[in-house]
Structures are given as structure tokens and as C-alpha cells.
Amino acid sequence: MAKAQQPEKVGFIGRIKQIGMVFSFTAKRDKLFLPLVTGAVTIAVALSVLLFFVIAWLAIPLGIMLVLLAVLIVLNLRANKAMMAEAENQPGAAASIVEQMRGDFRVTPAVASTTQFDFVHLVISRAGVILLGEGNPGRVKGLIGQERKRLSKVIGSADLRDFMIGKAEGEVPLNKLRVTLMKLPRTLSPKDVSALDKRLKALTARPQLPKGAIPKNMRPPNMRLPRAR
């Protein structure tokens, strides 16, 4: 039996390149990033100078560590903000964010959509079933209504919630989506989540046959239609 493919490990040089790419990305999109980095480095250097009078030359390696730590803290905070701002203009961003969340969140992107880039994403978690809508609120509301009607027949007693992603009243901003989902009460066990996931996958995979007589080229072999009486 072939072994499952292991995720590629990133070496030290690769990690440095990733940090450099994130640094460049953030600097181009966040005007406050470089001034904040400069301020953080200045504070770290000042602390290092003070430590020099206490522990002498040991302050040098400690100062280098403080400078790197200060830069990484600012980078982490501002990079997340820059990436969220960039994601707001990308269709399907909500599904991508939930897929990267920690915990048992099982995401099916775009279970319903329109040609105008309106989406409804399906999320199964310990909080139950969640529908996330992106796009025009008027069109998405109809899609969510259809999905709620379809799902309510098979989810049993599991909670069913829906959220519209946006900045208007009653909507959830993209940068607050993680917090919103993490605050939901956990009403399902891990086994319940797995069982619910299987039922919904079977529902999604089930083909819908067209109404009326089955065309000849779609009939299974040896299939006979009942004779008219």
C-alpha cells in the first residue's frame, strides 16, 4: 500500500523567503507597517542599550533577539489586517478563512451560487450547520432560503444558522468571521459532526433526475417502460 503523501517540510531558507514575501506584501498594502516596524525596532534597541549597562556583552545577542521579536510581532499583526483587506475583494474569501481555522470545521465552498458571483458556503462544525452568504444580499437571501429548506430535512436536531458576510447592519464583517464562529455554542460531539458530514455529502452527491419520461439515450440497459393500460 502506498503511503499517504506527507506535507512538504519548509526548511530554514524557505521559511526566510516566506517571511520576506509576507513582509513585502504587507509593506505595499499597509502604510503604517514600516513606521510601526521602525518604532518597534527603536524600542528594542533602546532596551538593549539599557541591558548593556547591566549584563555587558550578553546584551548584544539578547538585543538581536528583541529586535527580531519586535519585527515579527508587528509583522504578524499588520499582515493579518492587510490580508483581510485584500480578501474582502475576492469571491469565496469566507470559505477560505474558515478552512484555515483551527478546530473541526468542514467546509464545502459554493454549495449554491449565481453567475453574478454570489455564493453560499456550507460549514459543518460542533456548533451545527452554518451557511455563509457572500455577494448581493438580495440574491444571496434567496439562495440561503433554498439551502435551509433542503438541509432541514436531513440534519435532524442539529442547529442550523446562516450569516451574511458584509459591513452592513446585521452582517458579519470578514475580519470578525473567525471570532463569530468560535463564539457559537458547541452542541455536537465529534462523532455527531462526522455522521452529519456523511449525511450531507450523500445529499450533495445524489444526482437529480429530470422530471418526465427518461430519454432513450439515458435509460439503463434492459430497462422497460410500463405499458399504457
Angle at 93 between CA 92 and CA 94, to 5 degrees: 95
- What angle do helix axes 12-29 and 33-55 make, rounded to 10 degrees? 130
Q: Given this model, what pLDDT does residue 8 score? A: 56
160 pLDDT higher than 80: yes
Give pLDDT, residue 211: 45
Match 503511503 to its residue by C-alpha cell. 3
Q: pLDDT grade, residue 180 (50/70/90)?
A: very high
Range with lowest mean pLDDT among 4-18, 104-118, 177-191, 207-221: 207-221
Q: Look at residue 163 and give its three-state secondary structure.
A: strand
What are the CB-based long-range contacts (under 8 Å, 24+) for 224-229? none
Percent with pLDDT over 70 in the chain: 83
pLDDT at 174 over 70: yes
CB 144, CB 119: distance < 8 Å: no
| CA–CA distance, 26 with 109 (Å, rounded to integer) | 27
Higher pLDDT residue, 90 or 200? 200
- Residue 199 contacts by C-beta under 8 Å, 6 or more apart in sequence? 154, 155
CA–CA separation, 61 and 224 (whole Å): 84
- How much is the pTM? 0.63
Residue 9, pLDDT above cutoff 80: no
CA distance 144 to 149: 9
Output the nine-digit C-alpha cell for 76.
504578524
pLDDT on residue 89: 66
Write out pLDDT tens, residues 183-205: 999 999 999 999 999 988 887 65
pLDDT at 220 over 70: no
Helices and strands: H and E segment counts in the chain: 7, 4
